[in-house]
A and B are shown apart, each in its own frame.
Chain A
Amino acid sequence: MANSNLSIITKGLLKENPTFVLLLGMCPTLATTTSALNGLQMGLATMFVLILSNIAISLIAPVVPDKVHIPVYIVVIATFVTVLQLFMQAYTPAVYRTLGLFIPLIVVNCIILGRAEAFAGRNNWWKSALDGLGMGLGFTMSLTTIGIIREILGNGSIFGWKFITGDGILAFVMAPGAFLVLGYLMVLFNKIAKK
């Protein structure tokens, strides 16, 4: 029993990694990974919404008529995103300003609606919470990894600690870098997964 609960969490990290395997949530992945810290913060914010919405949806799914389940899920997810927005504006305004548009855009992050449909809609609240945790951790891990690479190559720093003077290869902290790093990481991931 403990084994299967643990596997629910760990599948989000590797076998069903939202970024590299399920290919979901590309937009925030590319936009918010300009530094390791930004990627980490975005991942954690998304995980917050994912866990809460998974729990809420798993609790109400049995009483929601099938025809209206999409709008209901959207309202629930949007509610939690707004709650996150309000908390961040009040208590972490600097992070809120850095992540900007992508906080409200969590509501259309395919990972959240995807997990709601695929998992939370048909499992109990505890398993759904664990699924949210696993997927959230996987997403955070991917974002932070991409962020670390882009920050090292583009800025010569890790989590703000600079180890070169001057600038790095600036293309990596700008738009092209996001696509290139994600593309090459996917190649790496595919090669490792194939083994």
Chain B
Amino acid sequence: MAAENNFKNMVLCLFLVCLFCGAILGSVYAVTKKPIEEALVAEARAAIAEVLPAGGEISEPIKSGEMEYYVSRIAETISAYAVKSSAAGFSGPLILMVGVLPDGTIYNTKVLSHSETPGLGAKCDSDAHFIAQWKEFPANGNITLKKDGGDIDAITASTITSRAYSLAVQNARNLVKSLQHK
């Protein structure tokens, strides 16, 4: 039922199949390229919008060492920073988006991704009390766990995840502080 098994047929067949598939892929890629970029930007913007006060104009991502941050401007003056910060969690990196005001106040935080244990560290994005304490955390507050002498309540039975979260927020605040000195 199939074509003959000679060399010419095999090469021709493979060539035509690759050509045709290449054409399909190329056209689908061209059609979806822009929506994909827009989707990525929209995702980042959505996360940033959650951690910053409303109304600012958000910049493109700026790289600083291993971290990445966005600047929010209202009428040409910088009103806040959104820093993508990460720290080693219990089972992998914990990646946060941290909204920091120029004076060092933490406006809000949002978990972008984590690999923590369900029911324990995974509560870092669902435990209401833990999340709430990061809202408008004062600039002079101590971002370490209460059991380490600071002001943060850890998630029950998830000290390591809580420490990682605090470290990530601390790194974000330190970055903003260093930017103020420039």
Contact = CB atoms under 8 A, between A and B. Distances in A.
| Any A–B CB pair closer than 8 Å | yes
A72 B14 CA distance: 7
B39 A90 contact: yes
Contact of B29 (A63, A71, A76, A86): A86
A72 B2 contact: no
Interface stretch (A11-19, A138-146, A167-175, A187-195): A167-175
Given A60-B17, A62-B2, A87-B32, A68 B10 contact: yes
Given A67-B5, A89-B39, A170-B119, 5 more contacts: A63-B3, A64-B3, A90-B35, A91-B35, A170-B118
6 contacts: A65-B5, A79-B25, A83-B24, A90-B36, A93-B40, A174-B118
A83 B9 contact: no
A115 interface: no
A65 B13 contact: yes
B36 A65 contact: no
B178 interface: no
Interface of A: 60-69, 71-72, 75-76, 78-79, 82-83, 86-87, 89-91, 93, 122, 154, 167, 170, 173-174
A90 to B, nearest CB: 4
A165 to B, nearest CB: 12
A69 B5 CA distance: 10
Interface of B: 1-6, 9-10, 13-14, 17-18, 21, 24-25, 28-29, 32, 35-36, 39-40, 43, 118-119
B2 A65 contact: yes
A76 B3 CA distance: 18
Contacts of B10: 65, 67-68
For the complex of A and B, 5 pairs with smallest distance between CB atoms: A90-B35, A90-B32, A79-B21, A93-B39, A86-B32
B17 A76 contact: yes
Given A86-B32, A91-B35, A170-B118, A72 B6 contact: no
With most chain B CB atoms within 10 A of its CB, the pick from A68, A75, A91 is A68
Contacts of A154: 118
Nearest to A79: B21
Contacts of A71: 14
A76 B14 CA distance: 11
B72 to A, nearest CB: 23
Contacts of A122: 1
Contacts of A76: 17, 21
Contact of A64 (B6, B13, B39): B13
A65 B2 CA distance: 6
